[in-house]
Structure 1
């Protein structure tokens, strides 16, 4: 539900929801007039029956490294735990079967987390057991995912003070926004182990009087309480009901791409699972809202979205008895639910004051700091957009020189981008076999690579994912912390040069060779694909002006050439030519050895005429290379002014390591050829072989 908060604001919910979180405010009936108080609904066998009011005492514990060192014994089971709330039998069983919870193992897992937290110089977290077990449950007891989630949670809180600072529930402004009831966890759950229902009322605030930032602040306060207090939300997740009644263009105009990015980042920080998103009372602004958030939603969340035109249709999914009277149900009046939520926030005033202490110190983070600039690419401020700007896609602005080149050479019309991206998303949604990224920046890269021809872009996207699926040797299990990958990365198998010849010039990539006795050609190209994807996403010079390659064949031996056979050459040329949106503007071979002509001619045979005309062989004549690539752009080792190669390699190694989660996420994208209409595209049909790499026999 915590995610719900994200979503809470606008469908953020929908998008924010996007994540998986599971914290929803828990309420218990306290008396006959439906007055509700937040409590442990999980202890109720029948959530529809009234229970005695119960407020959970909140104990806040700050991690103390020295204390941890003195109490954390080699055997983590020796960890003396704070008391955890008891779960109902139904919730305990769900935690066991769905979240991999083993009660006897919890003390050990918490001890490991506390020991890890104590070693993070930049983190200043809460460390009470109930708080940490919430993150373990939200991450299904994967310790590594839990560590990442905890880091993200505090990183986001520190980077977005607009949402997470000055959260005094007694403040008149916060009380005013809480009274609007934009984000409301409902008091009844769908069964003893069912998800918490969270009602998000998109049209309940006046955007001319209320800032979306202030609204979101209150929403995230509610989410934080669900995180620490509601076992139903943390174990069973939440079902989000989004009421679009009253949603207008003025409200939508407050949602800039930067704001959406921040809201989705918050979602990623909360350990909450979303079990479904149901829209009711769709308004004229719904299509615009959905388009704004759709690209940020995971496939799983997209499949859990439903739109209901009537309450009758909604009641088939969420029975009446769980809903407020205003939604045709018998679950209490909205006014009472809103009032109880306001009172509960005030009751936890000390918690919010204490929470302000727990933030990151990015100056102490090992490696690159994570702040508003590095996370969101902006200074962190929120700027309202005029509505015409609102519908513009979330794409990095180009420099004037690149914007002109995109217009002149790629047929780019900025005013048409939104429609073209929407057309691609609509087409992808109708392709049963393709599971694709759909964010604006990703799709515009393909549009530019195809000079904004929609039909060519569709073909390119299909082939891009078809080839990746057919080449698991290169495109799966790409972990920058894998032992061999880490070595190849530090050896400088490939590195982009930092400067381009002109502001609108192509990116230059310098590639070398590795020891064939230690690394296979597949391992090297797997690493190269990892670097290439970062460039495709981040480098506008490459996306607009293309790329120029330099292959240094110094120290190449026959063992290198023996790894290249026609099958392998066909695979990598298809991957880099037909299936890639990146345009090759030139390729230069230097320090070519004896025997080079054989492999060179093999490569040329698979290239189209345009790319063959862009190949240049310089041998060991560097002056010949300088005629095409100015010396000043090259590293010191090549007579240039770009600094030592190893410095460039080390910088890129850090960047690739920072993309580890991205590469994991990439595993879910590709094609399911069983679902493709017509003839499937697999290794056999694409490459004419079974997909395995075989070395040539040489006499």
Structure 2
């Protein structure tokens, strides 16, 4: 392995250097809350970092301890051997020769980061390596060359890049007492470009300038580091990377880590720290949202929806890619961008932020992050402003209404992948059922349907049978209900409404439609189809093979019993769904229609500048 003189100076300190060390030690006596490490090797790495400026070095050490106190789970606090499973992933490897400038070379193999590896895991590894490498005076003086190899990088890494993690990661990077360092990025693809786009706002310009992106193979890398230190795979002359030798090296440096663990804030209590490990990440989100419902219920439903997304199959994947521009990379990138927008919006602090929920809105808006974000804002604003229309639970209130056989989502998809929502006016007694309750039952049907990823992709077709319409039904078309219905269809609910088919409409239907049209966009108006009593006209749009016999179909008589029972058995889900909301008094009256530069293009100009 390379020559490594941890804790051993290559030459005696000068009088000025020794005086700086002594002055720095004396400053520690004034800070009783911190148990400072006073070993020369520890102090000199900060003094060299700050050009032997004692006051600047002191501030850097305090910042280092504060970061360690406030973020304990991203700093190693155990024996190095206890991290053996992480180390065996070979995501970090030390080359056995320094580069041509005398720098030590540490390689990050991002392709070895597994889908289950978390942000904290990667941060712990970096902390272990930095503690060890910076104990070497030659490294303190000459610096470090980092090689970030993006070969095989998995899109799951994007889940790390929530604002909290970006801030912590940037703070750790910029607090490292390394005077001279560079990150050389090789084999970069679109996923890492997305990572840079998300991290960049949290980095200083001086830090960004230390990144070098090598897009022309390894020629520039060899020019910067020299071929003698580089392994064969990077065009060098140093043979194959020896992962075993690197592992033995780090395991043999336990005494350095043990010494460092003894110091820091006394009785340290983390400030505003949130654990983002895999086992608690979802729970953390729910706690942040101040939800008091059944966490297990919503967690299980998210897991179920995520599993359904994974099992969509080729047919649905191709449809999503063709119609929605959805693919693995695009999905992962846009989810993180949308999550960041939701997290930063103080007006909707109680919004769901899990991937399953956010994906519904991205699909509804064809992966346009700005439009998806505005729809989320409107979704929660609508629910909060009109709880009488959007409160679903308790489902026992709906039981008798659903038994009237007035509505159902039919069990089969049409040839375009859409589900059919059939509503029958003649079974809706206007004297018995308040208009608000009928509206709520429709919202419940939509909330139930949207949990299926196939419906998110294929959309929904509304089939309205107006047979039996009475003048008493006019209360269902009040301006408020008409406006809210239009909002659900057009702006506020993450459903792709593909068409509206009207059957058995009365002669005065045009007059009724005139009440609704002012609230409808031209796109929705163009999707309205009236068929009167002509079932053949209906069958040109919806195949009779998926329709009940009452509509010329082959699926037997209309019966919503099975569908109704499925809804009523999900009481806990619908109850918990209502714990997510916003305060309409705090939500902005006008939701901005402006777009954020770079978001929908995934920061194309920024990412391509390298």
The two structures have a TM-score, normalised by structure 1, of: 0.44
- Greater C-alpha Rg: 2
